[in-house]
Structures are given as C-alpha cells and as structure tokens.
Structure 1
C-alpha cells in the first residue's frame, strides 16, 4: 500500500487497495466519514458523506459554510500526527457534534474526518444533571 507525496496543492491518486480498505472499514459506519488529503481534497467517503455532497475531488473545506469550519483541527492533527477531537454545537445543523480528525499511521498526508451527532445523548445528560 504505497501512497506517494506530491508537491503543491495536488493530491495523489488513491490506490484501489486504499479505497477498498476505506470501504471495508468505514462503509457501514452510521455517520458520514471522509478520507482527506492534507490539501483538503476528499479522497474517499462513505455513502452518508456522499449524501451530504462530499465527493472525491472536492475540498472538504468547501462543504457547508465557513462558520462550520471554524473549529477544524485538521492542521493540528497533521502537524502533531495525533488524533484530535472537538465536541460542540453546530448552529448550521442544530446539532451537538463529536468530531474527530485522525491521521493515518504510515500515511502522514492523510486523515479521517467524521462527526457523530450526540444531540440526543447530550439532551438526556442535561436532563440528568438538572435532577
């Protein structure tokens, strides 16, 4: 599985093997997931991400509003080569999202990005706290 680095703003082609690995592991994940190159080009996505308009070749940073990307931790995840997490309310969707940016081991120019809607769980938690 060899994915080369590129110069400039170009993302390399993703091998069929890498695409298959992504589909195998993330195809049935119950929330949108994207495999993203450091240039922010979406390399692969699951069906739920595709339904939201996230398609290979597009930039993840062009999806949604600029406001929805204010909390992006992709740069930090890539720089430190460590998973990053942010939980917060996203007004655009009216949801509390538990978001992750996870660099791939041995592929430092790639990261997984997904957000899990935890709105209902947070609401239940707040009800318990109020008791």
Structure 2
C-alpha cells in the first residue's frame, strides 16, 4: 500500500516525536506509528477509529479532517477539549503520495495555558 521508502522516511521524521504519531491510508488503516505510538499500544493495521470508539459515527471519528486534508492537499488543524485535556489535532497529507497522511494530536499543557492567561492580563 505504501513504499518502504515512505515508511522509513516517516520513522526518520516522526520516530522520536514525544507524542503518538500515525501514518494512515485514507481508508483509516494505520500504516505505521512512531515510538510513542508503539508505547501507547497503537496497533498497525487497525482502523484509527478503533482507538476512540465512543467518539465515532459510521466508523469515523466525528472530528476527523482526513478527507478534507487529502482533498485539498493542505494540512488541517483543530483544537478540542476532552475532559480536562486540551488538544491540537493535525492531519498532514503527504506530498507526492496519494491517499496517505500523517495524523497526531498534541496536548496543550498547563504551561501554555498559564502563558496565555498571563498575556491576556498584561
């Protein structure tokens, strides 16, 4: 489905990233994960929606922006709040590789919230 060269490039770029990162096909099949993703137990070959079944409709996460990112060829970002966690989500289509994208979310930590609050009050 994807070349060994793409898989190696993914690991070279995203392997050490401190948050879980997935390489996915537009079918939502997980093609590869970085080290943090492996440590979190993300299974290669599964559908990404299986990681968050309570947040899905028709087998896709409600907030998923994968198809839009693939259709436009542009990165898509979203912000969300899940419980006390604030997340920034990313869908990054690969250049010159049809139907494949990188997806991850980054926790927006207390330090960032505190800095934003301090800037507002300044």
1:6 is matched with: none
Aligned Cα root-mean-square deviation (Å): 1.8
Aligned to 1:25: 13
* 1:124 Cα deviation from its structure 2 partner: 3.4
User: Mind listing any 5+ residue stretches in structure 2 that lack a counterpart?
Assistant: none
1:80 CA drift (Å): 1.3
SS in structure 1 of the partner of residue 77 of structure 2: strand
**Is 1:60 the counterpart of 2:11 in the alignment?**
no
Match for residue 39 of structure 1?
A: 27
TM superposition score normalised by structure 1: 0.79
TM, length-normalised to structure 2: 0.84
Following superposition, the deviation at residue 50 of structure 1 comes to 1.9
Which residue of structure 2 lines up, in the alignment, with residue 78 of structure 1?
A: 70
Given the alignment, which residue of 92, 98, 101 partners 2:88? 98
| Structure 2 residue 81 is matched with structure 1 residue 89 | yes
Compute the displacement of 1:16 (Å): 2.5
Q: Structure 1 unaligned runs (5+)?
A: 1-11
- Deviation, 1:36, is 0.3
Q: Deviations over 1:28-69 (max 9, x none)?
A: 111111100000000011111122232210111111233273
Aligned residues: 117
Q: Distance in 1 between matches of 2:121 and 2:81?
A: 19
